[in-house]
Structure 1
């Protein structure tokens, strides 16, 4: 993008650039110069919107965690409709894989960011945590409706489903094949219904 051209949403433009860098080079390569270079803007743009680079990273982690929480918010309302596997898969994959990879890798590299996100969005809101909580609530609702056996360990199932998403986002690609692997595995887990341990 040529310098001097107005950007409608500069913060989102910079976040998207950081996300691309994390996906391709890893979070260890993030610097203000690398992000603005990827974004095709002057370095000053980042510092016009953020106090420093750490503030930028917190802003990114909060924004993406909020986005993920938004995709998870309606999951419980789907209880009793469609199939459990479809409802889980669609919610887990509602956020683009590049975003899941970006925020997951960044927070694995900088675990202190979780506390910064929670300071803004509340406990259990950092990265994929909101997906796990939403999955537990949804599975509990399905169990109450009788669409899951009474002995199903909903917390273990939710953890396994989100763990698949976390593993693929952290290590695998962000292409259609990765998307299909997540969907296939979530379906296999949902149809297996692990029972609670006594």
Structure 2
């Protein structure tokens, strides 16, 4: 690319390139050079916009964590429609899978990025933490409507649902397994309530 020509949406181009490197080669192969080669831009361009690779990875993680949390934010609005299991599974599946997969893999390798993401987005509003809160809020709304048992442990169900999502993303499993796992979680809450009553 000739010098001096602006590249529209450069940050997103570099973020998309980083995502492709992580998904194809793994996060250990992520370097400034790998990103710029994947993006098809000059080698020094990344460092013209970011202080260093850590600054770039922090910005990438913040961007993708925001994307993941925003996708789950509307989940509580589904309360009272369809079935609880279907709503929950559908909402989890609307989260952009490449973004979540790459972000999860990167944060496993680079846990030092987590507090940096939290510093920008907040302790409970970033990535899977935000998804867990949205799931718990949704289940609470359904509980108020009588569609989830009063005795259900909503925090544990939310954590379990997000853990299933995280596992399936990291193992690249299909959506059917998520649907089945979410459906299995919710009856277990009802069964615990029945055992408590009797």
Partner of 2:36 in structure 1? Answer: 36
Partner of 2:73 in structure 1? Answer: 73
Secondary structure (helix, strand or coil) at the match of 2:44 reads helix
Q: Which residue, 169, 173, 178 being the options, matches 2:174?
A: 178
Question: Would you say the 8 A contact 2:72–2:95 is kept in 1?
Answer: no
Name the CA distance, whole Å, in 2 between partners of 1:22 and 1:178.
Answer: 19
Secondary structure (helix, strand or coil) at the match of 2:127 reads coil
How big is the shift at 1:95?
A: 2.0
Partner of 1:46 in structure 2? Answer: 46
Partner of 1:104 in structure 2? Answer: 104
Unaligned runs of 5+ in 2: none
How big is the shift at 1:79?
A: 1.1
Partner of 1:20 in structure 2? Answer: 20
How big is the shift at 1:111?
A: 0.9
Calculate the TM-score normalised by the size of structure 2. Answer: 0.89
1:120 equivalent in alignment to 2:120: yes
Partner of 2:139 in structure 1? Answer: 139
Name the CA distance, whole Å, in 2 between partners of 1:184 and 1:16.
Answer: 31
Runs of 4+ in 1 over 3 A off after TM superposition: 4-7
Calculate the TM-score normalised by the size of structure 1. Answer: 0.89
Secondary structure (helix, strand or coil) at the match of 1:132 reads helix
Question: Would you say the 8 A contact 1:19–1:98 is kept in 2?
Answer: yes
Name the CA distance, whole Å, in 2 between partners of 1:69 and 1:150.
Answer: 27
Higher helix share: 2
1:129 equivalent in alignment to 2:129: yes
Name the CA distance, whole Å, in 2 between partners of 1:187 and 1:46.
Answer: 44
Aligned length: 191
Name the CA distance, whole Å, in 2 between partners of 1:187 and 1:42.
Answer: 49
Larger-gyration structure (1/2): 2
How big is the shift at 1:184?
A: 2.6
Question: Would you say the 8 A contact 1:68–1:128 is kept in 2?
Answer: yes
